[in-house]
Chains A and B, each alone.
Chain A
Amino acid sequence: MVPFGGWDMPVQYAGVKAEHDAVRNAAGVFDVSHMGEFRVQGPGALAFLQHVTTNDVSKLKPGRAQYNWLPGVSGGLVDDIYIYMVAPDEYLTVVNASNIAKDWAHLQQHAGEFDVTLTDESDRWGLLAVQGPQTESLLQPHTDTDLSAKKKNAFFPAKLFGFDVMLARTGYTGEDGFEVFVDASEAETVWDKLLAIGLTPAGLGARDTLRLEAGFPLYGHEFSDTIHPLSSTYSWVVKDKTHVGHKHIRSTPTQTLVGLKLERVPVREGYPVKVGGAVVGHVTSGTSSPTFGHPIAMALVNAEHAGADVFDVEVRGKDHTATRVALPFYKR
């Protein structure tokens, strides 16, 4: 167990590779109850969310979810969030555990001019992420809702094992899956039932290797309060609209996020990335890919070098060749 955002979280149950493979080939479940949930309600809810995010929240309909960013007022991103539209004038947002206090303060600060009520429901919800190609077939016998009719980013109330839950066809692994919002007091029971129907319990280690293969950015690694949001491959999250950070976000980023592949030596966060012996960037996330069997990494490099085909990554004083590859590394 490791401390993570004030929670004790399992890095692994049976082993990172076994858990990773289970999610890619069958299905696994992550306890991500540590994540934060804020409810945004009121006649000004949409206008408020438009003001504090970069994506276009007006595109959402009730029962749909959207990936979005909270831009900072002086550049960078406060956090990335998921927004679930419950009803007209009512949204549920999910934020990173380590950012709950910061995000809450940031949102409160900008809520004043809108007719909106924010409620921190982080302690109310357990959140279990069921992920993998067999998710639908494993869950279907235990709910009356026809899951096959629910598309990616659907968000709806359902009964699961007889419990009232909210299900969202979302995730952070690059696989199909459902995230289960369940009352915190019932989360452990639902977790046990999910294991009993054959889901593999998966920890933080596999969550990181899966999201890295899928090229998903992680707060503190690929984006942060200081990294220019348009450095990443996720610039589609920024729509042409006015928001708290739009002046800064429109500037041209000096760094670009690239995908790297290495022969044998795993590279880790912070390792220098070089071209022709000169440091041009650093690794933001790196691991040995369980799916591909070789090391992969994401790195922020100076924009003028982002087109290079080959880099060196310095590992314990020695340079190792890294080939640039397209992001994401893995796509289902």
Chain B
Amino acid sequence: MTTTPTELKYAASHEWLAADGTVGITDFAQDQLGDVVYVELPEVGRVVEAGETIAVVESVKTASDIYAPASGTIVAVNDALSGTPELVNSAPYEGGWLFKLDVTGEGDLMDAAAYEAAN
């Protein structure tokens, strides 16, 4: 397991949010899911509420809903995941990011220490 980056904020449902609005899932989450084979991402321009189902990450085992950790507008999605969804496993905090929000309000988020303590 890689260490939990301290510059990110975390949702109890295992998404992370960066200061610039980038969203992904945690190393813990990708490890639990196993081999990611497909990622369904939102459309750019969609307006979301924090806590809303916004994407789906599918592993060999199961399909998992991804919840928006903040309210805002989708301004970008990670197109690389359509060809290489396994980036979510190999680089959950970098190349495996899911989408980027223009954040208008954060949901109920934790810092890295609180997230680690919870899992």
B30 CB to nearest chain A CB (Å) = 11
- In the complex, what distance in Å separates the CA atom of A290 from the CA atom of B61? 11
Flag if A17 contacts B40 (CB, 8 Å). Answer: no
B40 surroundings in chain A (CB, below 8 A): 265, 316
Flag if B63 contacts A287 (CB, 8 Å). Answer: no
- In the complex, what distance in Å separates the CA atom of A11 from the CA atom of B35? 13
A97 CB to nearest chain B CB (Å) = 19
- In the complex, what distance in Å separates the CA atom of A12 from the CA atom of B31? 11
- In the complex, what distance in Å separates the CA atom of A17 from the CA atom of B90? 14
Instruction: Give the contact-size bracket for chain B.
Output: 10 to 19
Most buried by A among B59, B60, B62, B63: B60
Closest to A12 in B: B34
A11 surroundings in chain B (CB, below 8 A): 61
- In the complex, what distance in Å separates the CA atom of A264 from the CA atom of B40? 10
B61 surroundings in chain A (CB, below 8 A): 11-12, 16, 205, 287
Flag if A17 contacts B58 (CB, 8 Å). Answer: no
Which residues 18-57 in B have Cβ within 8 Å of A in the complex?
Answer: 34-35, 37-38, 40, 56
Flag if A205 contacts B56 (CB, 8 Å). Answer: no
Instruction: Give the contact-size bracket for chain A.
Output: 10 to 19
B82 surroundings in chain A (CB, below 8 A): 264
- CB < 8 Å: which of A264, A287, A316 contacts B60? A287
Closest to A294 in B: B37
B57 CB to nearest chain A CB (Å) = 11
- In the complex, what distance in Å separates the CA atom of A268 from the CA atom of B82? 19
B63 surroundings in chain A (CB, below 8 A): 266, 268
- In the complex, what distance in Å separates the CA atom of A17 from the CA atom of B59? 10
- In the complex, what distance in Å separates the CA atom of A11 from the CA atom of B33? 11
A224 at the interface (CB under 8 A from B): no
- In the complex, what distance in Å separates the CA atom of A12 from the CA atom of B61? 9
A134 at the interface (CB under 8 A from B): no
A33 at the interface (CB under 8 A from B): no
Which residues 71-119 in B have Cβ within 8 Å of A in the complex?
Answer: 82
- In the complex, what distance in Å separates the CA atom of A12 from the CA atom of B89? 15
- In the complex, what distance in Å separates the CA atom of A265 from the CA atom of B85? 12
A100 CB to nearest chain B CB (Å) = 25
Known: A16-B34, A16-B35, A316-B40. A288 touches B60 (CB 8 A): yes
A209 at the interface (CB under 8 A from B): yes
Closest to A289 in B: B60
- In the complex, what distance in Å separates the CA atom of A295 from the CA atom of B61? 12
- CB < 8 Å: which of A205, A264, A265, A268 contacts B34? A205
A287 surroundings in chain B (CB, below 8 A): 60-61
B82 CB to nearest chain A CB (Å) = 8
- In the complex, what distance in Å separates the CA atom of A316 from the CA atom of B58? 13
B60 surroundings in chain A (CB, below 8 A): 16-17, 20, 205, 209, 287-288, 290
A318 CB to nearest chain B CB (Å) = 9
B89 CB to nearest chain A CB (Å) = 9
A141 at the interface (CB under 8 A from B): no
Known: A205-B34, A265-B38, A268-B63. A288 touches B58 (CB 8 A): yes
26 A-B pairs (CB sep. < 8 Å) = A11-B61, A12-B34, A12-B61, A15-B34, A16-B61, A17-B35, A20-B60, A205-B34, A205-B60, A264-B38, A264-B82, A265-B38, A265-B58, A266-B38, A266-B58, A266-B63, A268-B62, A268-B63, A287-B61, A288-B37, A288-B38, A288-B58, A288-B60, A290-B35, A295-B38, A316-B40
Given A11-B61, A268-B63, A288-B38; 4 other pairs, CB 8 A cutoff: A209-B60, A264-B38, A266-B37, A290-B60
Enumerate chain A interface residues (CB-CB to B < 8 A).
11-12, 15-17, 20, 205, 209, 264-266, 268, 287-288, 290, 295, 316
Enumerate chain B interface residues (CB-CB to A < 8 A).
34-35, 37-38, 40, 56, 58-63, 82
Per CB-CB distance, the 10 closest pairs between chain A and chain B, nearest first, are A288-B37, A17-B35, A16-B60, A266-B58, A205-B61, A16-B34, A288-B60, A15-B34, A266-B38, A16-B61
